[in-house]
Amino acid sequence: MSTRRPPVDADIASRARATVKPGVYTLLPQANRVPSVLPNFSGASAQVLAAPQLGARFVEHELLIRPGGGSLGPICDGFEHFLFVLEGGVTLRMEAAEHQLCEGGYSWLPPERAYELKNQTDSQTRVIWLRRRYASAEGLQVPDAIVSNERDIPAVPEDTYLEQHLIPYENPAFDLAFNLLNFEPGTCFGYVESHIMEHGLYMLAGRGIYWLNGDYHEVQANDFIFMAAYCPQYFYATGWDRARYLLYKDVNRDYTQGL
Ligand code: UGY
Ligand code: MN
């Protein structure tokens, strides 16, 4: 029997950046994530990035789907779903329609919309998958599904950076936002934010310093951060390249649900 040995020159501090501050924030670097097996998939594993166990009101996974792998039949669990392809490609089958999502491709699916996922490429595919209970609002119809690619979404100025709104911001029927935030090196937020919305943040590129409730963390591509409601937050982009992250946020509701 052979066991895997870590490199002898790697110190524990650089290998263990994972930080959990219950009820405030969690930093989960890729190197510290452990795969789970999901019951309704084959040829795939998942890293659970955020879940109610952390205090989150949503579940976010990074799905790692091997060639030929995917869901074992239709996925339909009553939640709204959001998918974003980080790497590789995946086939999304919805009723009669089939969509090929390549890197940067994404989809929002309303509750009760059944779909199947399959990796028909010859390399591993990595997909961000978020699910939550859709919060309906009186007089607003549940929107139809969205299938698109971030390359087709314009970047608009916001505070000190450029933002792409993957879910239409102007439509209050959506109870969530997924935005891509793009920072030139050396840029930082214009102010410290503290707000009721939760965040699931996935670093896509570049480096930076995230300031979270008084703690400084250096962050890099593939890091995940969960920010609980009101967690004070501030970002500085460092390094030579643009920093970029995918950000989930709950929006457009008055938070009386659950009172
Ligand atoms: O929209 C936001 O709340 C965003 N500016 N927050 C963040 O990037 N931490
Ligand atoms: Mn924020």
From 5-9, 27-31, 204-208, 254-258, the region with the lowest mean pLDDT? 5-9
Mutate-to-test residue for ligand 1 from 226, 247, 248, 250, highest number of ligand atoms within 8 A of CB: 247
Q: 47 CB less than 6 Å from ligand 1?
A: no
pLDDT of residue 96: 83
Q: What is the pTM of this model?
A: 0.96
Residue whose CA is at the smallest distance from ligand 1 atom 9: 233
Mean per-residue pLDDT, 70-90: 97
Q: 244 CB less than 6 Å from ligand 1?
A: no
Task: Dig out the tokens for 56 from the structure.
Answer: 């989150």
What is the Å distance from ligand 1's center to 28 Cα? 18
pLDDT of residue 56: 97
Give whole-number Cα distances, 47 to 117, 162, 213, 218, in Å: 17, 29, 25, 21
pLDDT of residue 153: 98
CB 88 within 8 A of CB 100: no
- DSSP assignment letter at 188: B
